[in-house]
Amino acid sequence: MNEHDVRNLLEAVKRGALSMERGVEKLRRLPYEDLGFAKIDHHRALRQGYPEVVFARGKTKKQVAEIVRGMLRTKASQNILITRANPNIFQTVKHLARRAKFFPLSGAIVIPRTKAVRG
């Protein structure tokens, strides 16, 4: 969640498009969502200017999938980057996000959610 996403959330509550309870529920996941084996830093883009990155090496396909699910669940506007991935992990991620792209040379998976360039 970046500054743009926070502003949109607050505006939605202000105009009544999102209930106060639902807004609080969305904010409750900030800044971290603890999955037990990993913590997703949903607040990183707001604090640091760039979003969380998933480091796949050493994680199972199921663990990477759970992290990606958590990141997709927020409906944030930043792209998702998964590093040190392999074709098996890509196949699992592809089931969660059809737009996911795999770059075998670098082992990177990108799930595009915006074309905005920041930084």
With 90 as the cut, is the pLDDT of residue 25 above it?
A: no
Quick one: pLDDT at residue 20? 92
> pTM for the complete prediction?
0.76
**Residue 9 pLDDT level (bands cut at 50, 70, 90):** confident
Quick one: pLDDT at residue 119? 63
Quick one: pLDDT at residue 47? 77
Separation between Cα atoms, residue 82 and residue 102, nearest integer Å: 9
pLDDT, one tens digit per residue, over 33-79 is 889 999 999 888 777 878 889 999 999 999 999 999 999 987 777 89
Instruction: Note the Cα 67 to chain centre separation in Å.
Output: 8
Quick one: pLDDT at residue 64? 98
With 80 as the cut, is the pLDDT of residue 117 above it?
A: no
Q: Which of 55, 109, 74, 96 is nearest to 4 (CA)?
A: 74
Q: Where are the domains of the chain?
A: 3-111
